[in-house]
Amino acid sequence: MRSHLPNSFSRRHRSFRMIRAFAAIALPPEIRERLVQVQAGLPEGRPVPPENLHLTLVFLGELPEPRLDDVHLAFAGIRAGRFQLTVSGLGLFGSDRPHNLHAALAESAPLRHLQTKLETAARRAGVVLDRRRFVPHVTLARLGRDRSARRRVELAVAQAADFRAGPFEVGFFGLFRSEIGRNAARYTELMRYTLFASQDASPGA
């Protein structure tokens, strides 16, 4: 039996459209609200729309529908336990010219365990993944190339060193489609995968 993805994913349609996809953890409303408050106080940057705030686990890139179907089946076979996460401070990506201002996540072994499982499952499904090191974060704003703004952004990050939100429970992760728009991308959750109570999650899957 094939997957329970929407009909557009089925091999029988033979359309084989390319779909830009990623696996991520959606944020609960109370955490998203806290992050929106942080965005409101940022001195620079183009804020990410509130509905787009998420924690990416694996970016899959552009995949044909049948390959994405295989990824879904691989993800559906993963067993992992629920866990808690805490947002902890802000950070920047890009050394001389920061381009990404984000909320950082406190270190979490269960999160890294889940992310490793997803990477392994995606590769077994035939996806070629970026070898970039996984750094858990929630992007809050995209930054321009203005060097003069660097100091203001760095100061905002330093002032938010004590910022915390959570902990919050992670009970599922999702497979998302990303469609590039003129002003912002649009993300659509295609499938949701439930994480188990810790005593129910077998270590071998």
Sign of CA dihedral 199, 200, 204, 205: negative
Model confidence pLDDT, tens digit, residues 153-195: 888 889 988 999 999 999 999 999 999 877 788 999 999 999 9
Rounded (10°) CA dihedral 139, 62, 68, 74: -60
Residues acting as catalytic residues = 54, 137
Model confidence pLDDT, tens digit, residues 119-131: 999 999 999 998 8
Q: Give the chain's mean pLDDT.
A: 88
pLDDT of residue 165: 96
pLDDT of residue 57: 98
Higher pLDDT among residues 204 and 175, named by residue: 175
pTM summary value? 0.85
Question: Looking at the predicted structure, is the pLDDT value of residue 67 above 50?
Answer: yes
Strands ordered across the beta sheet of 83-93 = 46-47, 137-142, 100-105, 83-93, 164-170
